[in-house]
């Protein structure tokens, strides 16, 4: 459960920074996403999810998460 909370918190911080610092970039990215097919967007989402899980696994393997007091449940 700790992994999920940590992940969501980091995601919201990153998202908030992008929206606050570069709102025009978000609009351009959304326009570019509209040009992709649903299948391409789905594959991009799956790739992002796999990369995120790999990064969490790597952080856990490096001992980063236990040092933060978070253990997998």
pLDDT in tens, 1-57: 677 788 889 889 999 999 999 999 999 999 999 999 999 999 999 999 999 889 878
CA 33 to chain centre: 17
Under a CB-based contact definition with an 8 Å cutoff, are residues 1 and 69 in contact? no
Under a CB-based contact definition with an 8 Å cutoff, are residues 60 and 72 in contact? yes
Residue 65's pLDDT band, with cuts at 50, 70 and 90, is: low
Report pTM.
Answer: 0.66
């Amino acid at each position: 459960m700790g992994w999920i909370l940590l992940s969501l918190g980091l995601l919201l911080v990153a998202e908030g920074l992008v929206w606050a610092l570069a709102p025009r970039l978000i609009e351009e990215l959304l326009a570019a996403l509209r040009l992709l097919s649903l299948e391409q967007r789905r594959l991009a989402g799956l790739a992002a999810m796999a990369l995120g899980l790999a990064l969490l696994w790597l952080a856990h393997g490096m001992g980063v998460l236990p040092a933060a007091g978070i253990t997998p449940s």
